Structure 1
């Protein structure tokens, strides 16, 4: 059966040595996005550090919280391990009451400890994941409780540095598209994919500008 949308080739940042090529391609392919690019200016896509445990633990903290609240909880979480490394063993040894004390909900404690258990039982490392295509990485990691497609896409964008990721379920992406393309309602997944076809193979860069567009007057 023919797929409704083409496969998206996602390349690591190391394969793309010039943002200018991506930005110029996007501006030519999508003039409305081009206007946003001109208004926002230089692309400053933040690249996170840390191993897989650290990266996914951070994502769990930030789920369904404001940036301000999540950042406060995350820093308190890091403080718990200031005298030792954050490892799967360290997290599993941390009492639930202690995690509750820094701001984790009971549900997120379940997610965090399931992540730690999966790390112990052989979840691939970031180096091993780097050898896989995006969808294979997503299918590997969504087996962990609390890790959904969106969470893995954030890992692909901000940690594995893939250039062609379009998080179709992200509220900011949907709100930005609605604003830029003057839609009456928030777009559904199919509409986001249709709009995003023009951004291939630089959907990550386009997504970053869509997010930043929400900060414009």
Structure 2
């Protein structure tokens, strides 16, 4: 999903400071892209593995977990439940992340969490449903909404990269609080996901 040219023009008019930065940054992608086009379970499992890790380290661990399945693809929920704690920990997962992957797989296999129709739900309901899984909180659910479901109006105000991006954008002395960021983000509706993506890019480029 990608915003229209008219929507982007309106965003730049509402926030000329952000608009000036956007001119020098890459175009907002048409999500989902790459590995995020995979099944919902795989995308959520990847998010769990990547939590609070540097990208390279997370990618290494994710690759090891992927190889634990019987085939070339990432294990299915049922295959994940068949793996031992020793196998998961041996791949580099922490105890908490192994527990989170197991709980996600268990809820899917039991039918307690039905991912098939999750795209039909409103943003808040998607966050509520995913947050029933141990180890999945608001941030992980928001990343799923933005990068997998392509929702355009999500503001992950607790994300340090987004906070740092706003610090750079507005020339602040320190990162803003989540509440301050949410207030600042009102001008970006209904494209807060787009604004967040550009704040991440500002953080990347310094």
TM-score (norm 2): 0.92
5+ long unaligned stretches in structure 2? none
| Partners of 1:216 and 1:65 in 2: CA distance | 19
5+ long unaligned stretches in structure 1? 1-12
1:44 aligned counterpart, secondary structure: coil
**Does the aligned pair in 1 maintain the 2:156–2:162 contact within 8 Å?**
yes
Alignment counterpart, residue 193 of structure 2, candidates 192, 204, 207: 204
Check if 1:60 corresponds to 2:35.
no
Deviation string 1:55-78 (CA, Å, 9 cap, x unpaired) is: 111011000100110011111111
User: Match for residue 214 of structure 1?
Assistant: 203
Over the residues paired in the alignment, what is the CA RMSD in angstroms?
Answer: 1.6
User: Match for residue 9 of structure 1?
Assistant: none
Superposition pairs for residues 87-126 of structure 1, below 5 Å? 87-122=76-111, 123-125=113-115
Higher relative contact order (CA 8 A, sep 6+): 1
User: Match for residue 81 of structure 1?
Assistant: 69
| Partners of 2:176 and 2:16 in 1: CA distance | 19
| Partners of 2:4 and 2:200 in 1: CA distance | 17
Superposition pairs for residues 161-172 of structure 1, below 5 Å? 161-172=150-161
**Does the aligned pair in 1 maintain the 2:31–2:148 contact within 8 Å?**
no
| Partners of 1:182 and 1:23 in 2: CA distance | 23
Which portions of structure 1, spanning 4 or more consecutive aligned residues, are displaced by more than 6 angstroms?
Answer: none
Count of paired positions: 201
